[in-house]
Amino acid sequence: MKKYTEMSPVELKEELETLRSTYKGFEEAGFEFNMARGKPSPAQLDLSEDIINNLPWDKGYLTESGDDVRNYGLIDGIPEAKKLMAEMLECDPLQVVVFGNASLNIMYDVVDWAFVFGIDGEKPWGRQESVKFLCPVPGYDRHFSITEGFGIEMINIPMTGSGPDMDMVEKYVNNDPTVKGIWCVPKYSNPQGISYSDETVRRFAALTPAAKDFRIFWDNAYCVHHLYDDESRQDRILNILAECEKAGHPDMVYQFASTSKITFAGSGISCMSSSVKNLDEIRTHLSIQTIGYDKINQWRHVKFLKNRAGIEEHMKKHADILRPKFEVVMKKLDEELIPLGLGSYRRPNGGYFVSYEAPAGTAKDIVGKAKAAGVVMTGAGAPFPYKKDPDDSVIRIAPSYPEVDELEKAMDVFVCCVKLAYIEKHI
């Protein structure tokens, strides 16, 4: 197979004719496929069917603390749910507060509390002259929307194969007191599926921030979301809370997680994990903000998932559904684009995305072409602050929602769009 990058203009033009005809066929087929969001498929949602109507409620509603989960109380979560989430995050239940259905909402609240009330006695961010966040890119668009919403200046930090560029992170955090936070998805990162190396985690823990109110926003969204049973293909990352403690910075990190992609997207439970000191500060905010979170749903999750082993067992079923879908995406990229010298990607061992780096300057065009042919992708630029991809290259592929056969067709469309966009740009 001759690489496009090595073809003459004449050869490229010949290819173009064929591709245009193929593309026209796709347009006429009237496809409607969606690879835009990390949405679980109905088959994945069915895995948690028992939560909805088949739990052993006969043992009643009293937690081990003697509280009725159906009534007011326990604003920071039922003990059993704290324990469950602590097992998942490998920390102490004392380091956990259980919230409602969305960890994104916790992250928003944490930024908001810092903005309005300040962290640990420091001036509220809303009254500081300048507040900056570091944003490893490509990253999660919803993180960036939060900081953008609060008018926080976002600084791109390039991702490497072992996590964010730590030289840059250290330079900013240790010297600039206006840098207050960094968004991290440390395991199976969104969108690249990169897991931070031990060295990266240790360098995070060893940061000596110029700002007392600097915090690492550690969104461990995919902590148990492996694609493979084989342990050699399961990424492991160091425990950030333990590392920060060891390094003498126990209060430097806010960790977030949820069961949104374990049980139900939007009807799971979420938690925050941090030092007791940080959590105490957060409890004072919670006591004003709410009467508490949905403890019946916390109870449901405890009864259904039970413990760490129960979660792992359950996640294998998700992997069995997701793995073939990821493999379709990777196979198409491997067979149709990589040999032509068109773009690149990293092979993830877990998470929800494949991040394809298209030839520079073509991502927007590709996503637009795909959409016109009935295949909705995440918007080009979305994985970057202010939706600006400096190279117009990164395209996030979310294979979870469509069925395998749909995905094959959708990837055929995608591949065709990449080729078209490349050629149109280069002739």
Binding residues (CB under 8 A) for its own copies: these are 37, 39-40, 42, 45, 48, 52-55, 57, 61, 68-73, 100-102, 104-105, 108, 112, 115-116, 126, 142, 145-146, 149-150, 260, 264-267, 287-297
Q: What is the DSSP letter of 74?
A: -
Rounded to 10 degrees, the C-alpha dihedral 237/191/135/270 comes to -60
Give the nearest distance from C-beta 56 to its own copies in angstroms: 9
- Residue closer to its own copies, measured from CB, 267 or 349: 267
Give the nearest distance from C-beta 183 to its own copies in angstroms: 14
For the chain, the C-alpha Rg in angstroms (whole number) is 23
State residue 231 phi and psi, 5-degree precision.
-60, -25
Strands (E), 16-58: 33-35
Q: How far is CA 302 from CA 39, 78, 82, 269, 298, in A?
A: 23, 10, 9, 10, 6
CA–CA separation, 213 and 77 (whole Å): 26
Give the nearest distance from C-beta 295 to its own copies in angstroms: 6
Give the nearest distance from C-beta 30 to its own copies in angstroms: 18
Please enumerate in sequence order all residues whose Cβ is within 8 A of that of 358, keeping only pairs 6 or more positions apart, or say none.
342, 343, 366, 393, 394, 395, 418, 421, 422
- Residue closer to its own copies, measured from CB, 200 or 297: 297
Give the nearest distance from C-beta 150 to its own copies in angstroms: 7
- Residue closer to its own copies, measured from CB, 403 or 412: 403
- Residue closer to its own copies, measured from CB, 71 or 208: 71
- Residue closer to its own copies, measured from CB, 188 or 401: 401
What pairing do the DSSP bridges indicate for beta strands 132-137 and 179-184?
A: parallel
Give the nearest distance from C-beta 90 to its own copies in angstroms: 25
- Residue closer to its own copies, measured from CB, 265 or 302: 265
In the numeric block, which tokens belong to residue 411? 């990837």
